Amino acid sequence: MRSKSAPWVLMAPFLLLFLFTMVVPIIIAIVQSFLTVRRSGLVGEDGAVSHFAGLENYLAALTNQNFTESIARMLLFGVVQVTVMIVASTILALLLESASAKWPGLFRAAYFLPYGIPGVIATILWSFLYVPGLSPIVDVLGWVGIDVDFLGPSIVLWSIANIVTWTYTGYNMLIIIAQLKAIPGDIYEAARIDGAGPLRVVTSIQLPLIRPALMLTIIFSIIGTLQLFAEPQVLSTMSSGINSEYTPNLSAYAYAFQYNDLGMASAEAVIIALAAFILSAAALGISNRLGRKS
């Protein structure tokens, strides 16, 4: 006999935490994003009053050139970095599972290792390899006559992309490998009997069957791109190319803690979350449509 309360008891701690640390903050962010604070007195010492401001904050955010530029920058970053990373993860996963590689366990561990290194620490590590005078890479490139400033305004975005790719390629590769391992052996057997070559196995069997894993990694990567914060924030003290509104998240952070404009910060946070939703939904939608066709 099943008791009716059992599932609710099991879910209670999770749901309470979910309510307190996700639902309530999201509601507050939405409410805040429609408010504007007017301070009275010279430095606001006479108190501050919140007013309903309608879409004022959203309009301000979307017409703020720094913010729209940061979104455009993340779109460019996402299109290039996510593509490169997912393609690399897929190729590495296929190679490691192809059985023509030696010591796959060793390579898998080496590729996955950066995932355990926090973004901040990874950025500090890579910054050592970017900073002129400290970086052996800059030295070596200098010997052959190439002068690069990895922290220069035009390159620093791709230096950040490199750090993100370095951190997450192995992680995404493992998700894809897990799905590759789940392909039943008799499918390969059937393909072999039908005379399919290795390339044909990849394109007709492996790639279609790992589509769910690819979608998962792409969606998480899109969300990750929109959240980009630690890497540019750490590098900003070393690079003149990164201002305090370089990414949407840096912008929201700056408005909340430097400019003390919570309405604007909340509006930007809501826009970031909405963008993550829309892009993820779009990715899922495209995936489903492709799935129905094949």
| Residue nearer to another protein on the CB measure, 42 or 142 | 142
Q: How far is CA 119 from CA 93, 156, 169, 220, 276, in A?
A: 23, 16, 13, 16, 20
Please, which residues bridge with residue 51 across strands?
36
> Using the rule CB under 8 A, is 229 a contact of another protein?
yes
Residues 33-52 that bind another protein (CB under 8 A): none
The answer to whether 222 and 82 have CB atoms below 8 angstroms apart is yes
Burial of residue 151 (CB within 10 Å: 0-12, 13-18, 19+) is buried
| Residue nearer to another protein on the CB measure, 157 or 266 | 266
| Residue nearer to another protein on the CB measure, 1 or 42 | 1
Residues 60-89 that bind another protein (CB under 8 A): none
Tokens read off for 140: 């070596």
Distance, CA of 92 to CA of 206 (rounded, Å): 13
> What minimum distance in Å lies between the beta carbon of 292 and another protein?
21
Residues 87-146 that bind another protein (CB under 8 A): 92, 95-96, 98-103, 105, 107-122, 124-129, 133-136, 139-140
Nearest to 201 by CA among 212, 185, 214, 217: 185
> Using the rule CB under 8 A, is 182 a contact of another protein?
yes
> What minimum distance in Å lies between the beta carbon of 205 and another protein?
12
The only residue of 212, 259, 260, 285 in contact with another protein, by rule CB under 8 A: 212
170 phi and psi angles, rounded to 5 deg: -65, -35
Burial letters 229-267, b for 16+ CB under 10 A, else e: bbbbbbbbeebebbbebbbbbbbbbbbbeeeebbbbbbb
The only residue of 61, 151, 157, 213 in contact with another protein, by rule CB under 8 A: 213
> Using the rule CB under 8 A, is 1 a contact of another protein?
yes
| Residue nearer to another protein on the CB measure, 14 or 42 | 14
| Residue nearer to another protein on the CB measure, 157 or 235 | 235
Tokens read off for 193: 């009997």
Distance, CA of 250 to CA of 202 (rounded, Å): 41
| Residue nearer to another protein on the CB measure, 31 or 55 | 31
The answer to whether 97 and 213 have CB atoms below 8 angstroms apart is no
> Using the rule CB under 8 A, is 277 a contact of another protein?
yes
- Judged by CB under 8 A, the number of residues near another protein is 101
| Residue nearer to another protein on the CB measure, 42 or 222 | 222
> Using the rule CB under 8 A, is 276 a contact of another protein?
yes
Distance spanning both ends of the chain, measured CA to CA: 45
Interface characters, 247-266, with another protein (x: CB under 8 A): --x--xx--xx----x--xx
